[in-house]
Amino acid sequence: MTVVVSGVGVVLPRARTAPELMAPVAEAPPVEPKDLVGRKGLRYKDRATQLAYCAADAALRHAGLLDDGGLRVPGGSVAVVASSNYGNLDTICRAIDTIAEQTAAAGSAMDLPNASSNVIASSVAIRFGLRGPNLMLCNGATSGLDAVHWAATLIRGGRASRALVLGVEPDNESVRAFTGGARTIDGAAALVVESEESAAERGASATAVLGTYVRGAGLGRTLERLARTTGDRPALWHLPEQRAAAVPDTLLEGVDRHDLAEVFGLGSGALGVLQCAAAVGWFAQGGAGPVYATAGTDADDASAGIALHGRAAA
């Protein structure tokens, strides 16, 4: 079954469209969720969830699944797969500090839902009425690409006709303390992926096709497996975040490279979703040939990669 990308939502300070991930604006203020989706429903939601609302709204509308009247397809046909490694870290740190300094009873009841790691996926599903399978991934460097893979797996397995894939990371003091001072993207990206048949039935356009997904130990071996299964040398390679230590010059020598982290900050759990969105933007601007999205290191740690193809190459 062919799985295509039919919608993209990008909510970053320097990018609000998929093409801008390849050529961002020079400067921009932080994202203000109330300006994008209104104030309703934002109270008591952490920043990661608010940012996810914005990206989800943009992607669902871009795919033609949502308008001002609400969801245009049965809610049970849409799965949600979200990825974030630091999404509710500030809530957890605040709760721990409260317990340490006072008692557990002193904690805020409004913070309790945000203390669950799946708060992003579940909150987005509730807000938009998406009643299909609901998954939250928080598993390190490969989390975003894994989320894209599991969304495609749900579709190919017949569990859903389409899936909303979210990647989001907030920037706050708790995250910077945990990452040693690194600043995250403080934004979100979303994809709507669905079967080719589902998109055709709705008359939806798609600019990218999800190809081979590979996961294993070592970035080099992951790239070798991608090349064997894809059969074509990539035209563009989205680099993992551990670029300096993880990407020898000999890997895919001569292939154009793009480093989203260098431009936008630490993507972490959102990186893979951002990379796929950037590939869509590249195709939309006339880019041709396979695009590799990768995460992980060239050591014996987990690495993952996905090959994406322009719609005409499907």
pLDDT digits (tens, 9 = 90+) for 270-309: 999 999 999 999 999 999 889 999 998 766 678 999 999 9
Q: What percent of the chain has pLDDT over 90?
A: 63
Mean pLDDT of the chain: 89
pLDDT at 81 over 60: yes
Task: Kindly state the helix (H) or strand (E) to which residue 62 belongs, with its residue range.
Answer: helix 47-62
Higher pLDDT, 30 or 90: 30
CA dist., res. 120 & res. 107, Å (int)? 21
DSSP of 287-303, one letter per residue? --S-EEEEEE-SSSSEE
Buried b (16+ CB within 10 A) or exposed e, 128-164: bebbbbbbbbbeebbbbbbbbbbbbebbeeeebbbbb
What per-residue confidence (pLDDT) applies to 244?
46
Question: For 267, which DSSP code?
Answer: -
Contacts (Cβ under 8 Å, ≥6 apart) of 144: 83, 167, 267, 269, 270, 271, 272, 273, 274, 275, 295
11: nearest Cα among 38, 44, 37, 40: 37
pLDDT digits (tens, 9 = 90+) for 139-171: 999 999 999 999 999 999 999 999 999 999 999
What per-residue confidence (pLDDT) applies to 312?
54
Find out whether 304 and 146 touch, Cβ atoms under 8 Å: yes
Q: Which amino acid is at 54?
A: C
Helices (H), 231-293: 243-246, 260-264, 271-284
